[in-house]
Amino acid sequence: MSGEHPPGSATSGGHRLPGHRHDVRTSGGAVVPGTRVSVEWLDADSILASPAAAAGVARERRGELPYHLLARRGRTQWWRPLAEIAVFLPLAGIATVVAVAVTLLLSWAAGSPADLMDAGGSFWPDAPLWSVVMGLGSVAIVLPVVWFTVRVIARRPFGTVSSVTGALRWRWLLACLPLGLVMAVGNTFLAGALLTAMGEVDPASAHEGASSFGSSLWPGWSTFLVFTAVVLVLVPLQAATEEYVCRGWLLQTLVTWVGNRWVAAGITSLLFMSLHGRFDLVSVVYFTFFALLACWVTFRTGGLEAAIAMHVSANVFYLLIAGTQGIPDMLTEASVPVHLTTVITSVALGVAYAASVVWLFRRRAMQASGVPA
């Protein structure tokens, strides 16, 4: 401290640093007006004795913010979040329609016309493989819309949605993938063992499309390899898109409006749950829990990488396992409720994944806050 005290500090019983609102000059020289520095009252002796506390004070002085506040640029206009959402929704709808139309054209060209006489007159392709392409592709195509909304409407770097460093931390993402794969593999075998012991069959293991490939559930190597290629290409894009929307851009945008990260997390988690189209109680709890868990991991690690890794690992592994029993029909899958046993094992291993990721993050002494755009 050397006798230098911040403005407004008290010296009764030691130097204290009050939280207050003031202008912050970033490392690049830009001034962010009205930024709240949430430094709690700390004794100077405690700061000197705790490197972590001293580092936290230093980050506050540099104007660094946690991930969920990276969309804040001084006094954000109240209408800006509404404008971003108003632009995003129709563009996302248009992009989804384009993806569906292109998939239908490709399926027709490949000799697999849509079954227009099914219940509800759906335009869903009757071949399960094309339904996978449509289901994943119609989500993945929304990622450019997120980029456009952030860059053009919000007028901030897209990297601020990725992490506090202003970019996607690829090495960190790759480090989280093995942990996510362990979670997915462990959950599959643990849930399978419990269901077998109870003499039950997981409804999610039954796929309507399995019978399309003959008497054997195995679809054949040629079909399975094509399916694997589709999954490996589209699932990372699909999963990343959902994270960039629900745990990234929309969450950050809502925080600037509602002011509380967990209120925003609750809203985006309910959205994430509803997008999966399963509204029985067990499925609602399952998807909402994992959405909130992904939010917590994102807050603790200062970026989307750990959430993306968990999402990609789970979706890739589960789809490939399902593919060995016949290519799953995405429309049928969306209507199958999640088994309670699967929920229990998934929650346990999901918590273990989150704890492991946070432990690894701390061990690497990585950055969990950054300078706002």
Residues 71-119 pLDDT 10s: 986 556 778 889 999 999 999 999 999 999 998 888 887 776 554 434 4
Residues 48 and 147 in one domain: no
Residues 274-283 pLDDT 10s: 998 888 899 9
Number of domains within the chain? 2
**Block residue for tokens 């109240």:** 78
Residues 121-160 pLDDT 10s: 455 555 788 889 999 999 999 999 999 999 999 999 999 9
The amino acid sitting at 25 is R
100 near 138, Cβ under 8 Å? yes
Give domain status of residue 109, yes or no: yes
Residues 167 and 267 in one domain: yes
Give domain status of residue 73, yes or no: no
Give domain status of residue 72, yes or no: no
Q: Is the pLDDT of residue 205 over 80?
A: no
Residues 233 and 147 in one domain: yes
d(C-alpha 279, C-alpha 271), whole Å: 12
Residues 124 and 14 in one domain: no
Q: Is the pLDDT of residue 189 over 60?
A: yes
Give domain status of residue 117, yes or no: yes
Structure token digits, residue 25? 């000059």
Give domain status of residue 55, yes or no: yes
Which residue, of 18, 37, 63, is where some domain finishes? 63
Nearest-CA neighbor of 142 among 209, 239, 268? 239
Residues 32 and 93 in one domain: no
Q: Is the pLDDT of residue 209 over 50?
A: no
Q: Is the pLDDT of residue 184 over 70?
A: yes
Residues 58 and 85 in one domain: no
Residues 135 and 268 in one domain: yes
Q: Compute CA distances 268 → 81, 114, 251, 257, whole Å.
A: 14, 33, 6, 14
Residues 95 and 194 in one domain: yes
Contacts of 303 (CB under 8 A, 6+ apart): 67, 162, 163, 164, 165, 168, 169, 172
Residues 25 and 86 in one domain: no
Residues 279-324 pLDDT 10s: 889 999 999 999 999 999 999 999 999 999 999 999 999 999 988 8
Q: How confident is the model at residue 230 (pLDDT cuts 50, 70, 90)?
A: very high
Give domain status of residue 218, yes or no: yes
Which residue, of 12, 36, 63, is where some domain finishes? 63
Structure token digits, residue 307? 């959430």
Residues 52 and 84 in one domain: no
What residues make up the domain containing 48?
Answer: 1-63
Residues 253-268 pLDDT 10s: 999 888 899 999 999 9
Residues 186 and 309 in one domain: yes
d(C-alpha 310, C-alpha 292), whole Å: 13
Task: Report, as an integer, the average pLDDT of 193-201.
Answer: 79
Structure token digits, residue 277? 């189209």
Which residue, of 17, 35, 63, is where some domain finishes? 63
Q: What mean pLDDT is reported for the chain?
A: 79
Give domain status of residue 361, yes or no: yes
Give domain status of residue 68, yes or no: no
Residues 26 and 122 in one domain: no
